[in-house]
Amino acid sequence: MKALDEPPYLTVGTDVSAKYRGAFCEAKIKTAKRLVKVKVTFRHDSSTVEVQDDHIKGPLKVGAIVEVKNLDGAYQEAVINKLTDASWYTVVFDDGDEKTLRRSSLCLKGERHFAESETRGRVFFILQ
């Protein structure tokens, strides 16, 4: 689950926890091939469309009123409904290994990697 203050995409140099062989390990983003999908609803006719972030003028934040570039090159006002980070990130682990991963395999350093309810259940199960 995405935190509310989490950026729509991660930048080079960001410290992350990256999934590697089933576990999360500390790493740093070395390169990023950015692709943010933005689902918007146009204000003039309430139609919904998904575009890439380079077609958006305004803040990349859910609920923000932005301008969206249409096929004619003209901009129309819309509201952002959803942001999806479909970028590919190459990370470097502390031991020097590199791996290219999707955003779903990365967490900002210091975030929880699992739901708290899952953890309690597992601990209870292990202790029995």
Residues 31 and 50 in one domain: no
Residues 5 and 16 in one domain: yes
Distance from C-alpha of 86 to C-alpha of 36, rounded to nearest angstrom: 6
Residues 56 and 118 in one domain: no
Question: Tens of pLDDT along the chain (128 residues)?
Answer: 455 578 999 999 999 999 988 899 999 999 999 999 999 999 999 999 999 999 999 999 999 999 999 888 999 999 999 999 999 999 999 999 999 999 999 999 865 544 444 444 444 444 44
CA-CA-CA-CA dihedral for 98, 99, 103, 105, to nearest 10 = -110
Domain that holds residue 45: 36-85
Question: Domain count of the chain?
Answer: 2
CA dist 104 → 5, 10, 75, 128 (Å): 17, 12, 31, 32
Residues 94 and 127 in one domain: yes
Residues 48 and 28 in one domain: no
Give the pLDDT confidence score for residue 71 in this predicted structure: 85
Pairing mode, strands 56-57 and 15-20: unpaired
Residues 53 and 80 in one domain: yes
Residues 28 and 6 in one domain: yes
Q: What CATH number should be reported for the domain holding residue 10? A: 2.30.30.140
Give the pLDDT confidence score for residue 3 in this predicted structure: 53
Give the pLDDT confidence score for residue 59 in this predicted structure: 96
